[in-house]
């Protein structure tokens, strides 16, 4: 055994340089009780170190990185999630979503969750107006939820959320204290659902924090194409987290969070004032959009 006071036989922990540090960190976690955690952190540390060596990260750049994460942490609260925004804009969210939701064609594609979902949104019956006062042109949304053989999934739970015509979600407006443009519904026996809302609009992701500054520095714009979020859940099926996108809008080919999938782009039809799908007479122009969702069966463990 090397003596602590001896100048010879220094262990590897005392001869660390920019190359040997990686193995020293991995050696330190050799007693990790969770094989999965060990696998994850081994890969994370290896890639983190490889990155820092590859670009020969300077101490000043390292400080900037620490400051960036600190700023992201401080702007994050119960209504703002800068780390999800960071993951979204760096494509990590899309990668993780994609590799965990590989499905044969015919099933509705998943896309990113985003930072604006709110648990415990209000419940609505079919046909209700979920906009609840959010500003925007009226839009009647309808669809079906089916399984792989085309069978209706009665009672499937649907959560929807969207921004208003100014591009803000309710949680981004300090003056709005009630849910607007979000709600939970259930499919009818035949798998159909419908509700009234407002037209989805393109919007920039929040640019007043470090992620916005990052996009600017990278020469990237912060815009997302107009979309409506869906989370659909039913027993025996994988949860589906997705959006539908407006075919007639900009940014479909440069979504700031890489969420667009061609199969999720839909025509949102504009109608002149007159008889609306809910039987009322609309004095303003309105939109309709329809989408048929196909859920993927849950694999038995």
CB-CB contact of 260 with 252 (8 Å): yes
- Provide the sign of the torsion angle of the four alpha carbons 171, 173, 177, 183, taken in this order: negative
Enumerate residues 119-158 that contact its own copies by CB under 8 A.
none
By CB under 8 A, name the one of 79, 95, 285, 292 that touches its own copies: 95
CA-CA distance, 96 to 112, in Å (whole number)? Answer: 9
Residue whose CB is less far from its own copies, 28 or 285: 28
Enumerate residues 70-89 that contact its own copies by CB under 8 A.
70, 72-74, 76, 81, 83-84, 87
Q: Does 28 bind its own copies (CB under 8 A)?
A: yes
Q: Does 233 bind its own copies (CB under 8 A)?
A: no
Enumerate residues 209-228 that contact its own copies by CB under 8 A.
217-220
24: its two tokens:
């020293």
**Minimum gap (Å) between residue 32 Cβ and its own copies:** 5
CB-CB contact of 268 with 246 (8 Å): yes
By CB under 8 A, name the one of 121, 128, 152, 265 that touches its own copies: 265
CA-CA distance, 210 to 187, in Å (whole number)? Answer: 40
**Minimum gap (Å) between residue 256 Cβ and its own copies:** 8
Contacting residues for 171 by C-beta, under 8 A, at least 6 apart? 79, 116, 118
Residue whose CB is less far from its own copies, 130 or 244: 244
Q: Does 96 bind its own copies (CB under 8 A)?
A: yes
Contacting residues for 270 by C-beta, under 8 A, at least 6 apart? 285, 286, 287
By CB under 8 A, name the one of 140, 169, 203, 258 that touches its own copies: 258
Residue whose CB is less far from its own copies, 106 or 125: 106
**Minimum gap (Å) between residue 215 Cβ and its own copies:** 9
Q: Does 242 bind its own copies (CB under 8 A)?
A: no
Helix (H) or strand (E) holding 137: none
Enumerate residues 164-203 that contact its own copies by CB under 8 A.
none
CB-CB contact of 133 with 127 (8 Å): no
What's the farthest any 2 CA atoms get from each other in the chain?
92
Q: Does 285 bind its own copies (CB under 8 A)?
A: no
Q: Does 118 bind its own copies (CB under 8 A)?
A: no
CA-CA distance, 234 to 215, in Å (whole number)? Answer: 37
By CB under 8 A, name the one of 35, 44, 120, 295 that touches its own copies: 44
Q: In 10 A of CB 151, how many CB atoms?
A: 9
Q: Does 300 bind its own copies (CB under 8 A)?
A: no
């Amino acid at each position: 055994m090397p003596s602590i006071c001896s100048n010879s036989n220094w262990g590897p922990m005392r001869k660390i340089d920019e190359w040997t540090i990686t193995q020293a960190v991995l050696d330190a976690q050799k007693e990790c009780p969770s094989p999965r955690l060990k696998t994850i952190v081994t890969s994370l540390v290896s890639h983190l170190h490889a990155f820092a060596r590859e670009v020969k990260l300077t101490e000043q750049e390292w400080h900037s990185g620490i400051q960036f994460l600190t700023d992201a942490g401080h702007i994050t609260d119960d209504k703002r999630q800068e780390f999800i925004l960071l993951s979204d804009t760096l494509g990590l969210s899309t990668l993780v979503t994609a590799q965990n939701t590989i499905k044969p064609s015919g099933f509705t594609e998943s896309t990113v969750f985003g930072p604006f979902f709110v648990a415990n949104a209000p419940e609505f019956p079919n046909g209700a107006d979920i906009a609840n006062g959010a500003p925007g042109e009226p839009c009647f949304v309808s669809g079906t939820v089916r399984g792989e053989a085309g069978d209706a999934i009665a009672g499937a739970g649907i959560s929807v959320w969207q921004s208003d015509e100014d591009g803000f979600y309710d949680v981004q407006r300090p003056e709005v204290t009630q849910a607007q443009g979000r709600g939970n519904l259930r499919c009818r026996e035949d798998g159909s659902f419908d509700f009234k809302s407002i037209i989805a609009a393109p919007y920039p992701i929040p640019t007043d924090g470090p992620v916005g500054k990052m996009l600017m520095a990278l020469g990237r714009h912060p815009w997302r194409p107009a979309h409506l979020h869906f989370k659909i859940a039913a027993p025996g099926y994988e949860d589906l987290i997705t959006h539908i996108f407006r075919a007639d809008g900009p940014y479909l080919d440069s979504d700031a969070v890489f969420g667009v999938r061609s199969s999720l782009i839909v025509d949102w039809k504009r109608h002149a004032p007159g008889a609306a799908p809910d039987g009322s007479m609309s004095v303003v122009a309105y939109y309709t959009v329809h989408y048929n969702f196909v859920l993927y069966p849950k694999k038995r463990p």
